[in-house]
Amino acid sequence: GDSVTQMEGPVTLSEEAFLTINCTYTATGYPSLFWYVQYPGEGLQLLLKATKADDKGSNKGFEATYRKETTSFHLEKGSVQVSDSAVYFCARGSGGSNYKLTFGKGTLLTVNP
């Protein structure tokens, strides 16, 4: 079935460090791919998404590229800030209408000043 595997945390970085959080997905169908972010005490918010191979999603300095050949959708940011501290979830749609999302287990990122 559909599954998403993402890098387990926690990840601790200093401010302005480079961030990569790895995410791979099962290659069934043609899913849309998503990164959601959950700030402390809040619900999930869409951070970025990509709908087909080679698409790059970007938002707030974060980027991820839909790599069909490696079934990956790694999240990157060149210079993290303290305010980026949160839990990050990779998710894939179910293919077709993508009405169901399958989430990875989440990666806790802590950025220290």
Partner 1 sequence: DADVTQTPRNRITKTGKRIMLECSQTKGHDRMYWYRQDPGLGLRLIYYSFDVKDINKGEISDGYSVSRQAQAKFSLSLESAIPNQTALYFCATSAQTGTLSTDTQYFGPGTRLTVL
Which parts of this chain interact with partner 1 (CB under 8 A)? 32, 34, 36, 42-46, 49, 51, 89, 93, 95-101, 103-106
Question: Smallest gap, in angstroms, from Cβ of residue 92 to partner 1?
Answer: 12
In this structure, are residues 92 and 25 in contact, taking their beta carbons and an 8 Å threshold?
yes
In terms of CB distance, is 17 or 72 closer to partner 1? 72
Q: What angle do CA 2, 6, 12 make, to 5 degrees?
A: 160
Question: Smallest gap, in angstroms, from Cβ of residue 19 to partner 1?
Answer: 19
Count of Cβ atoms closer than 10 Å to residue 68 Cβ: 12
In this structure, are residues 92 and 42 in contact, taking their beta carbons and an 8 Å threshold?
no
Question: Smallest gap, in angstroms, from Cβ of residue 15 to partner 1?
Answer: 26
Residue type at 1 in one-letter notation: G
In terms of CB distance, is 51 or 110 closer to partner 1? 51
